[in-house]
Chain A
Amino acid sequence: MMNLPLLWASILVPLAAALATLAAKKASAKSLATLNAASLAASAVLILYAYLAYGMRGLAFDPIYFRVDGIGLFALTMDSMVFAASFSIAAVTSVIAVYSLPYMRHRFEELKEEGAEFPGWRSYYFLYTLFALSMIGTVMSTNTIEFYLFLELTLIPSFLLIAFYGYGDRVKIAILYLIWTHIGALLFLIGALAVGSAVGFDFISLNTGFLVGLGEKLGPLAATAAALLVIGLAVKMAVLGLHIWLPYAHAEAPTPISALLSPNLIGIGGVMMYRIVYVLFPHTFAGFSQALYVWALATMIYGGLMALSQTDFKRLLAYSSVSQMGYMLLGLASLSAFGIAGAMLHYMVHAFGKALLFAVAGILIANLHGLRDITKMGGLASKMPYTAALALLGFMHITGIPPTVGIWSEYLIIRGAVEKALATSPAWYMGATLALLAGIGLSTAYAFLTMKRVFYGPLRESLREAREAPASYWAPLIVLAALGITAFILASPLIDPLVSQIGAVVGGV
């Protein structure tokens, strides 16, 4: 138990900022950006402190919690997994809040030219921060209903942000997004109600920590309930077959929101698949693991192939996210402490890397007259060296090239995947290796082919006038790249607690 309500503060500080934003009728855009970015940065610092002081050693609870009759414990908790996710959310949303200022200024002008009706800065930042803080809440929750409430809370602001400020057929796409994520949420909720009505909604208890195996008491219903939870979260993660909403939503959302949706929101599905489904149903989940393993590899490869065949930069990144969720799922399906730790760390890797990349795509959109078509780009590195360098760092994250933290998560996930394959059969070992060759080969190919198509080669005639974006666009992003490099160097405080805390539940370390 923590001495201070650090975790509630990490949510309530941004909430206060959001409410103040709503109330500040005369505030300038810049002050709103500063306020909201600062509140999220404060949240990141609180999370970091809560982790270093408590969470590193194991599950730690915020001193403020509630018990609701019939539902259970509403507490907030911190451990290595929660840190990997919540810190990434807070850090990325803080940086992107700063980036939003020039970007949304540009977007508002565009919308005005279109003659669209849209709410202004206060609504943007209010919804933005509400979205951010509810994401932080999801991963800290200890109870499926609590998680569900936070999850619902993420959906409304993100829906509105897409509907108000998105591109293309934005209202239609926003509704599509809302329906899809609700289908996922609903499947999850049915599973959660099935579990909750029998054994309660908590998956973490104040006294005993993770309630490992609690769901197995459901007996024959356990498999169905676990499957519903897995599929519900798989919709959120956009795993192959359930992925089709993602390219629409993430490509057409206003770019700062894409940078939040794509790595942060979808990854929550992966984090909670372990914290809720594995914890409650370790045996049932183990029974699913071979199917999930194959599904994960297929998602990796499929996402990579789709990314290769896109010409729209943001759609390419969206499919890349599908592929990255395959990596995460592979780590989870390995059932190995290393593999699951890798999946959790990959949340962070993907958060930094993909946020960088979406932000880069946004820089091109805002500064090159809405340019999104990769086939019309080329040679931009000579004009936009900082943007190119940030894109390279983003791709290095997601392809696992040092000195970014990506290499650690890549190794951990493969370490887990190999362990599982080796324990299964020689055919699995060989098949998994070949699938990894294809999957990682494709990731490398689409990442660096995109670098070449966008930034290298002779400069396009149509881009003669291009010049480096103002620093207000790229300077905040340096923080994300720096965080990824710092995490590479300071890997031990991240990886060791992950491996030991997950190992304590799954065994085998």
Chain B
Amino acid sequence: MEPLILAWLAPYLGTLLVMLLKDRGWKAKSAVAILSILTAALAATAAAWRVVEAGETIRWAVEWVPSLSVDIGVYFDGLSSLMALVVSWLSFLIAVYSYEYMEHEEGQTRYWIFFTFFVGSMMLLVLSDNLLTMFIGWEGTGLASYSLIGHWFSDEEEHWVGDPGRKALGKQMWFEPSHSGLRALVFTRLGDVGLIVGIATLHIAAGSTMFAAIAGGKWAPLLARSGVLLFFLWMLFLGAMAKSAQFPFHEWLVTAMTGPTSVSALIHAATMVKAGVYFFLRFAPFLVAAAYVLQGAVPGGAHTVAAFLQWMALIGGFTAFMLATMALVSRELKLILAFSTASQLGYMFLGAAAGTLVEGGLGGMYTGFAHLASHAIFKATLFLAAGAVIHAVHSRFIDDMGGLWEKMKITATSFILASLSLAGLPPFMGYWTKDEIIHISFQGALWVPAILSWVTAGLTAAYIARAFTRVFFGDKHWHVKEPHEPGPYMWAPYLTLGSLSLLLGIAWPLIAPTVEETLKHSMGVAALEVTLAPHLEAPLVPESTLLLALTALLATIYIYGVKRADLYAAAVKSRAWAALHAFLYDRWYVNSIYYWVFVDGTKALATLLKKYFDQLVIDNFYHKALPAATLWAVNFTANVLEKDWDALLHKHLVDAFKKAWRAFRSLQTGQLSDYIAYMWIGISLVVLLLCLVMGCKP
């Protein structure tokens, strides 16, 4: 047994222990949960150390289901060990925060059960060496998120997301926890069906579900020749798109804020949504290998792979832009951060796709992973700090905040540090990683996503500046007596992470080569590279991006912090601005359209089928028409056929006999002369008959 397996096993053991401790106090359950995650983090660190130091990959596995080539164990290569580090340490810090945050809340056992299950599943997903074990972890994160998003399942209003009573296109725009949990599960499982079809297809084409068997891309020619390659790639990535909330699956993520804030931090920073990006990074070198194999084998095959990556880049760029525009107008602190997450996930998709196109598998992996890590750190900080703010003012709306700097200096500092990283300012980590994505998109001549991502850099700086200015500066709008800092279990984690955004940013030029070197030891990276896109010079991109972000940031701070302008009040005076505001505030009406088309459509179809097919046609056919037809047939035979026959046999025949008898009786008159006459007639008839039959010869 390899002790490093504790990297995913320990949190699962934590789940079991928490169940056993269900009647014990909060301290005991928390200690078990936090320690189990710490164990995972230490195991991941030990493994990553070996991978980084010695440049080796660690694989330990036992067979689980040999007929499906499924095994279970741990696989630490460059990508998975770095990813495991990010996931486990962030989860640990968030767990520590939870200890204080959730102390007085309902459903404590349930909270830790699914928290540890979440972390265990995410670690299993990351550390699997085959598609099916990864998929099991993947589905585990789905279950845990479902439960945690719907943690407050009795749906009290304080846990809702959205403005109660608000409607867009006739559809409600507020979401209760139980509703949001359902949305998260249904949205992501739709994508998972695509993923499972993709896994099955790879299993067939490669004869195995092991990554090692897929990495070489040997499966691609078969699929290209069958004419399903592009469709297959879409399906394979559908799960990643849904999990990572890419358009058109982004809707579930923005309403997932109904869970405890610590859960939001966990979902957005460490687990769940990062799974899709991780999947993309894992497959980036495989896709390059597939393109390489296809190059000579199937005409146009490599182009299909490139075209698919261009689509992913476009979806990423579009998601980044679309969700950033929504974040500009939102009134809920957590919702701003949620829009921001989906937008940043768009950046990661764009980075992974553009990086792969321009620089091959390693390039995609590096670009995507760097931003994944930097986002994980600053977004965890933002959510955890936001949780402290929301607790302090007892409101989720930024309208009820303002001027909190005086009261919550640690929280404000952490939040602003992370905000600057998100805004992409140097020397924060976000500067390096986001800049890389925008730059590489221009280099690859992916013009539409490149421009969208460039504009989004400005929007990002603006929305996060709006958020922290309206929360921590300006006029005080809170209605509580004395907002105050939380205890150290809460602020220590986010202060640590906020500081890390800065420190890692300062050290990034030194760290980046190590990260890239480590990623080289990832599966499939050593494969031959092919050119899938041009590699242009992109002068002035970093400078102009920075200038844009800085301008947007300062302008927003000036408007909200110095001028203290009420842009909303000004905007709604004009009809066009009000319409634009509503469009953004109601999430481009995408949610309403989904409810009209999919929810109502399915409902209508189900009702119609039930009423007019199941009941009217099928039920009536078998249970009314068929019995009625049988009854009719019975009646018909009884009344028509049977009756006549009956009448013939039992009436007419009887009557005939009766008549004959009566006639016979009437003959018996008693007169001798009559008898003689009859006898004569009788004999004559018999003779006549005999004559006719035998032939009469007179």
**Interface of A with B (CB < 8 Å)?**
176, 241, 243-245, 302, 305-306, 308-309, 338, 379, 381-382, 396, 399-403, 407-408, 410-412, 414-415, 417-419, 422, 426, 429-430, 433, 436-437, 440-442, 444-445, 448-449, 451-452, 455-459, 491-492, 495-496, 499-500, 509
Contact = CB atoms under 8 A, between A and B. Distances in A.
A452 B132 CA distance: 29
13 contacts: A244-B619, A401-B143, A402-B136, A411-B135, A412-B68, A422-B201, A422-B226, A433-B231, A437-B194, A440-B193, A456-B181, A495-B67, A499-B68
A90 to B, nearest CB: 24
Given A176-B623, A436-B193, A499-B67, A426 B609 contact: no
A491 to B, nearest CB: 5
Nearest to A418: B200
Contacts of B618: 241, 243-244
A330 to B, nearest CB: 13
A323 to B, nearest CB: 12
A457 B154 contact: yes
B203 A415 contact: yes
Contacts of A457: 153-155, 176, 178
From B178, B232, B235, B603, name the one whose CB has the most chain A CB atoms within 10 angstroms. B178
A474 to B, nearest CB: 16
B95 interface: no
Nearest to B615: A244
A441 B193 contact: yes
From B178, B200, B201, B609, name the one whose CB has the most chain A CB atoms within 10 angstroms. B200
B479 interface: no
Given A305-B606, A418-B200, A430-B228, A496 B67 contact: yes
B197 interface: yes
B391 interface: no
Nearest to A388: B153
A93 to B, nearest CB: 28
Contacts of B231: 426, 429-430, 433
Contact of A410 (B196, B602, B609, B610): B196
B63 interface: yes
A400 B132 CA distance: 13
A411 B605 CA distance: 28
A305 B185 CA distance: 18
Contacts of A244: 614, 618-619, 622-623
Nearest to A419: B204
Nearest to B121: A402
Contacts of B609: 302, 305-306, 309
Name the 5 nearest CB pairs between A and B, nearest first: A456-B178, A309-B606, A456-B153, A418-B200, A499-B67
B139 interface: yes
B647 interface: no
B50 interface: no
B160 to A, nearest CB: 12
A492 B186 contact: no
Contact of A448 (B182, B201, B228): B182
B65 interface: yes
A401 B142 contact: yes
B63 A492 contact: yes
A338 B190 CA distance: 23
A396 B147 CA distance: 12
Contact of B610 (A309, A396, A499): A309
Interface in B31-68: 63-68
Interface string B278-293: 0000000000000000
A56 B144 CA distance: 35
A407 B177 CA distance: 26
Given A402-B143, A457-B176, 20 more contacts: A176-B623, A244-B623, A302-B609, A306-B614, A309-B609, A381-B154, A402-B140, A408-B65, A410-B196, A411-B200, A417-B200, A426-B227, A437-B194, A441-B193, A444-B190, A455-B153, A458-B156, A495-B67, A499-B67, A509-B67
Nearest to B106: A382
Given A302-B609, A401-B142, A407-B136, A436 B204 contact: no
B477 interface: no
B150 interface: yes
A400 B139 CA distance: 9
Contacts of B146: 448
A433 B67 contact: no
A393 B299 CA distance: 49
Contact of A429 (B177, B226, B610): B226
Contacts of B639: none
The binding surface of chain B is classed by DSSP as helix
Contacts of A407: 135-136, 139
Nearest to B157: A458
Size class of the B contact interface (CB-based, 8 Å): 35 or more
B65 A496 contact: yes
B153 A495 contact: no
A427 B67 CA distance: 29
Given A441-B193, A456-B178, A495-B68, A448 B153 contact: no
A239 to B, nearest CB: 12
B179 A452 contact: yes
A355 B143 CA distance: 21
A418 B177 CA distance: 36
B574 to A, nearest CB: 40
Nearest to A403: B140
A440 B191 CA distance: 11
B204 A411 contact: no
B241 to A, nearest CB: 13
A457 B155 CA distance: 5
Interface in B145-176: 146, 150, 153-156, 176
B607 A492 contact: no
Contacts of B179: 452
Contact of B197 (A241, A243, A306, A436): A436
A306 B199 CA distance: 30
B155 A456 contact: yes
Contacts of A492: 63-67
Contacts of A509: 67
Given A241-B618, A244-B614, A426 B189 contact: no
A407 B143 CA distance: 12
A433 B200 CA distance: 11
A496 B66 contact: yes
A308 B609 CA distance: 11
Contacts of B189: 399, 440-441, 444
A168 to B, nearest CB: 14
A440 B194 CA distance: 10
Contacts of A417: 200
B64 A437 contact: no
A417 B199 CA distance: 12
Contact of B150 (A412, A419, A456): A456
B256 to A, nearest CB: 15
A308 B194 CA distance: 22
Nearest to A492: B65
Contact of B200 (A396, A414, A442): A414
A233 to B, nearest CB: 18
B113 to A, nearest CB: 10
Nearest to B146: A448
Contacts of B610: 305-306, 309
A298 to B, nearest CB: 11
A122 to B, nearest CB: 34
B143 A396 contact: yes
Interface in B201-215: 201, 203-204
Contacts of A500: 67
Nearest to A443: B189
Given A422-B201, A456-B178, A437 B155 contact: no
B178 to A, nearest CB: 3
Nearest to A412: B68
Contacts of A440: 189, 193
A246 B146 CA distance: 32
A381 B153 contact: yes
Nearest to B621: A244
